[in-house]
Structure 1
Amino acid sequence: MIFNLFRRFSLHRGSAEFGRLKRIILYTLMINVLFAILFKYVEAVSWNEAIWQTWQTATTVGYGNRPAETLFGRIITMTLSTVSIAFVGAMFSAVFDYKEYHKTQKKLGYMKNPFNDGYVIFNFPATSIAKNFIEELRAIEKDVGICFVDNNIEALPLEIQEIPNIHFVKGCPLQKSTYLNANINQNKTIIVFPNAQDNSSADGATKTTVDLLERFVTEGTRVLFVLVEKANTWMFEDNNATYINADLSVLAIVQECQDPYSAMVVEDLLYNTKGANPVTVEINRLEGMNWMDLQLKIMKASVSLKQQCNVIALIQNGKTDACPNPETVLNKGDLLSIATYSNFSWKEIEREILVLQD
């Protein structure tokens, strides 16, 4: 608690609340130092006793184990006790005001994102989408920090505010301070939603945000974006950001029409809370093996290691293939998408496949 209070001081040094608190603490300290000096020489006691007597009087504890004996010493004690009641009360009031100020600043989005290695979301989506997003992320990454950045809302909805490790930054995507306050270069994934869900011109604003984001992100930071109109993907050809289709629900409906239960299968794969999830792994020790042999060996290795998994797709040169030719040869660095559980270890699977080959 004390550490958090001092951290807040460093965040609001220029505020009027901080200035008031600083002045009260300074005046209180000066008065107590002056009293300790006077008490030491007037009452002819040690520094230890003078400081102890000062604290007793200032806090109105008054143990009385060494009260003032001289007239002047008693006058000083009376004066300090009277003044201290006012200053100690004022100090506690200033601390409370400062705490409330900090709470308000955080609620309104005027504080820097405190999270590292988390997620930053530009343009707050609907509350239901945000809640589902948080729930799904934290099914795998418990308590991961999530920061929402938006210039069109005054504060996050109360039901979102009450979720732990959620932060809000109010800022315009055209201002440099927004990216600095969002702590972009310290977080691993940035997601840009359209600032208008039903207007394709919002994709132009998304393009601007993605371009500016790429000035701040580091090599280890991914940028994902959602478009209103898929036809606008051409604008992002020069960006390193990844496009996420906003119409996945429509695609799921079409797929279900063509093949019953398929939408449910895809939903199970996409939802972290459903069980097995896609995991991308890299071919390091199995180069030269073909696709058919790989699938047979993975099944045998998973049985031996008591791990559950299913190969979904091969990814070569950035292109996905959910149904490769059985004779397709694997190269070092190729990627595999595998449906499995959180305890899955690809390194052990690769090692076991090599053992099975011998």
Structure 2
Amino acid sequence: MILNLIKRFRVHKEAEPLVWLKKVFFYTIGINLLFAILFKYIESVTWNEAIWQTWQTATTVGYGNAPAETLAGRIITMLLSTVSIAFVGALFSAAFDYKEFYKTQKKLGFMKNPHKDGYIIFNFPGNNVAKHFIDELRVVEKSVGICFVDDNINELPEEIAHLPNIHFIKGCPLQKETYQKAEVQNNKTVIVFPVDASKSNSDGSTKVTLDLLERFVDTSKTRLLYILVDMANLWMFEKSKATYISSDLSVLAIVQECQDPYSALVIEDLLYNTQGANPMTVTVDKIAGISWKELQLSLFQVLEGTKHSCNLLAIIRDGQSNSCPEASEVLKKGDLLSLATYLDFPWEEIEAKIQALTIDSQ
């Protein structure tokens, strides 16, 4: 039987590392269990002593405080020390091989996304964009998981891959397995970058990816964002539940700067988490019915003397943004307000104070 195990040991050496690790583990346990049983009955010792002697021999510790006294017991010990020691060594070797195999598989994008409630990015956008995205995002969410999905690269660049909680999946958007491995349904935001930001026809492949994503996610729980190369292609996304971000934002900032000096710096200040205050979207609830003018005046009064500060940027209603509403514009319940403020801004508390102030003034 021992010789048969050794033969099988050689046959399975080239097996997939996890399978091989399991086999070596069970082989090792089986051999040592057999020896413990034989040692107990041949030497007439307790189970405790039999297991102790088995461990000593198999691990080469060899304390020898109660060695075998019978001829049969010594033969069994010799066999164990010849075979089991090799298997214990193989067990450690298999564990190391599996660890290295796992690292390689993860590096090459073959492992399932381990992150939940994180961000998934289809089509690696390049080192600079990826690094900038990660740096800015982690100012707000320090340890959030980020998974890159791409079929055109073999692995992430080292400067990205070495960052904590970064994962890579080598996968084609046309394969069902890609979405399953990426765990798109268990993450909060999926961003689709164009395959080639210099070609407008890349919007076509973006549309295909978004259509397939909508089969796998609940869009009320998982946001879908995409980078649009050419605004002329926006018609393709009319029925999509995803939100577009124009790749021309940088160009627009330049044009704006040409028309209004220093306005690009203002936009940058608002967009970068590392610069200070950022846009925050809050929902109108208690203050529904007051006008835009009343909101502005009340907000200044409520914030006076507190550590909080903010500026109103826009009303968002039915998915449309209005950054310059009429003073008489009446807020409706469910409207969204875009504010320029800091992360700890307690909107619900402030809204309640605005409500109380407007009631008192009436």
Task: State TM-score, norm by structure 1.
Answer: 0.94
For residues 203-242 of structure 1, the C-alpha deviation after alignment (integer angstroms, 9 at most, x for no partner) is 1111111111111111211111112211100000011111
1:329 paired to 2:347: no
1:124 paired to 2:124: yes
Deviation (angstroms), 1:74: 1.9
For residues 13-57 of structure 1, the C-alpha deviation after alignment (integer angstroms, 9 at most, x for no partner) is xx6222222221121111101110111011111111111111111
Distance in structure 2 (CA, Å) of the matches to 1:201 and 1:331: 40
What's the counterpart of residue 225 of structure 1? 226
Map 1:300-339 → 2, pairs under 5 A: 300-339=301-340
What's the counterpart of residue 188 of structure 1? 188
Deviation (angstroms), 1:292: 0.7
What's the counterpart of residue 9 of structure 2? none
Distance in structure 1 (CA, Å) of the matches to 2:327 and 2:22: 73
Map 1:27-66 → 2, pairs under 5 A: 27-66=27-66
For residues 61-93 of structure 1, the C-alpha deviation after alignment (integer angstroms, 9 at most, x for no partner) is 122222222222122222212222211111111
RMSD over aligned CA atoms reads 1.1
Which segment drifts farther, 179-188 or 307-316? 307-316
For residues 164-191 of structure 1, the C-alpha deviation after alignment (integer angstroms, 9 at most, x for no partner) is 1000111111111111111010011110
SS at match of 2:265: helix
SS at match of 2:302: helix
Distance in structure 2 (CA, Å) of the matches to 1:331 and 1:18: 58
What's the counterpart of residue 346 of structure 2? 345
Q: Match of 1:282, as an amino acid?
A: T
Q: Match of 2:68, as an amino acid?
A: A
What's the counterpart of residue 212 of structure 1? 212
Distance in structure 1 (CA, Å) of the matches to 2:352 and 2:344: 16
What's the counterpart of residue 354 of structure 1? 355
Q: Match of 1:179, as an amino acid?
A: Y
- Between the two proteins, what is the percent identity of the paired residues? 64
SS at match of 2:252: helix
What's the counterpart of residue 150 of structure 1? 150
Deviation (angstroms), 1:316: 2.0
Distance in structure 1 (CA, Å) of the matches to 2:207 and 2:324: 33
What's the counterpart of residue 133 of structure 1? 133
Distance in structure 2 (CA, Å) of the matches to 1:104 and 1:157: 14
Which segment drifts farther, 301-310 or 91-100? 301-310
Deviation (angstroms), 1:303: 2.1
What's the counterpart of residue 106 of structure 1? 106
Distance in structure 1 (CA, Å) of the matches to 2:275 and 2:20: 53
Distance in structure 1 (CA, Å) of the matches to 2:199 and 2:320: 30
Unaligned runs of 5+ in 2: 1-14
Distance in structure 1 (CA, Å) of the matches to 2:233 and 2:131: 28
SS at match of 2:22: helix
Distance in structure 2 (CA, Å) of the matches to 1:289 and 1:21: 68
SS at match of 2:304: helix
Unaligned runs of 5+ in 1: 1-14
Deviation (angstroms), 1:304: 4.4
Number of positions where the alignment pairs a residue of Structure 1 with one of Structure 2: 344
Distance in structure 1 (CA, Å) of the matches to 2:226 and 2:178: 18
Distance in structure 2 (CA, Å) of the matches to 1:85 and 1:51: 15
SS at match of 1:320: strand
Distance in structure 2 (CA, Å) of the matches to 1:196 and 1:316: 33
Deviation (angstroms), 1:300: 1.5
What's the counterpart of residue 284 of structure 1? 285
Distance in structure 2 (CA, Å) of the matches to 1:30 and 1:207: 56
Deviation (angstroms), 1:263: 0.6
Q: Match of 2:260, as an amino acid?
A: D
What's the counterpart of residue 173 of structure 1? 173
For residues 125-160 of structure 1, the C-alpha deviation after alignment (integer angstroms, 9 at most, x for no partner) is 111100000011111011100000000000111111
1:76 paired to 2:76: yes
Q: Match of 1:178, as an amino acid?
A: T
Distance in structure 2 (CA, Å) of the matches to 1:32 and 1:290: 81
Distance in structure 2 (CA, Å) of the matches to 1:256 and 1:336: 26
Deviation (angstroms), 1:317: 2.2
For residues 84-105 of structure 1, the C-alpha deviation after alignment (integer angstroms, 9 at most, x for no partner) is 2211111111111111111111
